[in-house]
């Protein structure tokens, strides 16, 4: 069935883009950083920076500038017009402290303005806490590396990667299928054509435009039906065994006319080593038909142990009870039970267990970071009690400690998600009390890196 969903071009969050975006949030939060977003042409650098600006412009002071191949300049977050010649005066000089300048397609800018921007950040990034994020083609990075060395700037580089095959199918589903439960179905010939895109966004967009009528969206029901049939068959088999007392099952497993005891008698003798003992004892199981067993035939097994008193006469005199000396034992003081853990301590320990048992690509939603220098235990317990009063399930709250510039901070997370896409989609559905501080998606790897960062 062909789905006639309207054309849309959503931002597609992958593990790679989620990790890069998370790192950028950390660097901009710390301030005084320079970050390079690299990747081949068409991999989605402009789309990524647009999404970063749209997601975090309310949280950070962001300015987005894009240099075009025709020497034109587009901007977001600015109320001024400028040209490449007036860039320094109109943009750089008006940047607010702790703000971040985002430059897309920086390799299209002229060499002169590239030098001016690097020189400006070399002089003012530290004292104003300014951050710079810029993108460039993978084959145009060498000039920026040379500029950073001459300007004594440290560049943190991140690479956007092409989509792998499962991500390509998921992107096609997101664009072409209206129902989240549907999956995009491609023919064998279509899969060959899809492989030619190499997972590059610009090529995937053209692929969808040219072959949209050949892409079908269907609900995958085969696996569910198979699991249901298998469950019913298993239940029927268990019910038969219970009703027949296992008779049908045991007799169907043996040759015709042979009893279980006969089958057991014909088994070869095996030797079983005793635990913690190097000797082995032969073990020859035998079964005797119950009808032929007589009391006289049953003899005690004395092979393993014979008491040295077994041949002595048994005394018939009554036993003499010796007096028992009573010893008074001073009562020991009962140990006081350990003090009950606070809500904060419970969540800290639960979070450590959760981090240890989760893979790097599992995700959560960070609802805030707290810098509590005065009595953090009391402040965080009060915050958790507030969440509890708002009917927030505290089992979904994770709290961890980390250090930043010599200070101890607390990160507060909500939920546990198997993928970054699931976490990102869930942010919009959070209760209002959890959305008050502009929550962001976090990966387990990013959280562990933040905890281990000294």
Model confidence at 171: pLDDT above 60: yes
Q: What is the DSSP letter of 2?
A: B
Helix (H, G, I), strand (E, B) or coil at 133: strand
Percent of the chain scored above 90 by pLDDT? 13
Model confidence at 126: pLDDT above 90: no
CATH superfamily of 343-452: Sporulation related repeat (3.30.70.1070)
Residues forming beta bridges with residue 283, ordered by sequence position: 270
pLDDT of the residue at 249: 47
pLDDT tens digits for 249-297? 445 544 544 444 454 444 444 444 434 444 444 444 444 444 444 434 4
Helix (H, G, I), strand (E, B) or coil at 348: helix
Higher pLDDT, 81 or 92: 92
The helix/strand count (H/E) of the chain reads as: 15, 14
Q: What is the DSSP letter of 32?
A: S
pLDDT of the residue at 329: 55
pLDDT of the residue at 101: 93
Q: Spell out the domain ranges in the chain.
A: 31-159, 222-250, 343-452
pLDDT-derived band at 2 (thresholds 50, 70, 90) equals: very low
pLDDT of the residue at 102: 94
pLDDT tens digits for 196-208? 999 888 898 899 8
CATH superfamily of 31-159: P-loop containing nucleotide triphosphate hydrolases (3.40.50.300)
pLDDT tens digits for 426-446? 888 899 889 888 788 888 888
pLDDT of the residue at 413: 94
Q: Residue 250: enclosing H or E segment and its boundaries?
A: helix 247-252
In angstroms, the first-to-last Cα distance of the chain is 55
Percent of the chain scored above 70 by pLDDT? 67
pTM above 0.75, yes or no: no
CB atoms within 10 A of CB 365: 23
Model confidence at 174: pLDDT above 60: yes
C-alpha gyration radius of the chain = 36
CB 142 within 8 A of CB 127: no
pLDDT of the residue at 150: 86
């Amino acid at each position: 069935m062909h789905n006639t969903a309207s054309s849309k071009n959503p931002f597609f969050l992958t593990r790679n883009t989620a990790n890069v975006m998370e790192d950028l949030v950390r660097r901009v939060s710390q301030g005084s950083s320079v970050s390079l977003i690299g990747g081949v042409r068409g991999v989605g650098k402009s789309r990524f920076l647009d999404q970063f600006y749209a997601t975090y412009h309310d949280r950070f002071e962001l300015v987005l500038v894009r240099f075009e191949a025709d020497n034109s300049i587009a901007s977001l977050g600015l109320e001024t017009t400028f040209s490449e010649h007036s860039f320094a005066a109109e943009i750089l000089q008006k940047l607010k402290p702790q703000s971040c300048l985002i430059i897309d397609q920086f390799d299209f800018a002229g060499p002169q303005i590239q030098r001016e921007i690097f020189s400006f950040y070399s002089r003012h990034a530290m004292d104003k806490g300014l951050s710079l994020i810029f993108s460039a083609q993978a084959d145009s990075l060498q000039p920026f590396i040379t500029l950073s060395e001459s300007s004594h700037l440290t560049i943190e580089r991140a690479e956007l990667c092409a989509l792998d095959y499962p991500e390509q199918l998921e992107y096609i589903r997101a664009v072409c299928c209206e129902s989240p439960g549907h999956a995009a179905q491609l023919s064998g010939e279509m899969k060959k054509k899809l492989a030619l895109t190499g997972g590059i966004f610009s090529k995937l967009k053209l692929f969808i435009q040219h072959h949209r009528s050949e892409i079908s969206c269907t609900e995958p029901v085969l696996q569910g039906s198979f699991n249901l049939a298998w469950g019913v068959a298993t239940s029927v088999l268990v019910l038969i065994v219970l009703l027949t007392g296992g008779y049908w099952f045991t007799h169907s497993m043996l040759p015709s006319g042979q009893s279980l005891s006969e089958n057991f008698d014909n088994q070869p003798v095996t030797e079983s080593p005793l635990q913690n003992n190097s000797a082995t004892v032969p073990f020859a199981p035998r079964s005797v038909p119950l009808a032929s067993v007589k009391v006289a035939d049953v003899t005690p097994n004395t092979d393993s142990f014979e008491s040295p008193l077994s041949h002595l006469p048994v005394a018939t005199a009554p036993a003499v009870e010796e007096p028992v000396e009573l010893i008074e034992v001073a009562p020991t003081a009962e140990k006081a039970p350990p003090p009950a853990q606070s809500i904060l301590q419970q969540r800290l320990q639960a979070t450590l267990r959760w981090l240890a048992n989760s893979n790097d690509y599992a995700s959560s939603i960070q609802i805030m970071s707290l810098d509590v220098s005065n009595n953090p235990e009391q402040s965080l317990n009060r915050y958790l009690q507030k969440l509890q009063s708002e009917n927030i399930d505290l089992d979904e709250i994770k709290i961890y400690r980390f250090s930043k510039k010599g200070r101890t901070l607390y990160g507060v997370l909500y939920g546990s998600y198997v993928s970054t896409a699931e976490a990102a989609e869930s942010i919009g559905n959070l209760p209002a009390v959890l959305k008050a501080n502009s929550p962001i998606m976090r990966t387990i790897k990013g959280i562990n890196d933040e905890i281990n960062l000294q």
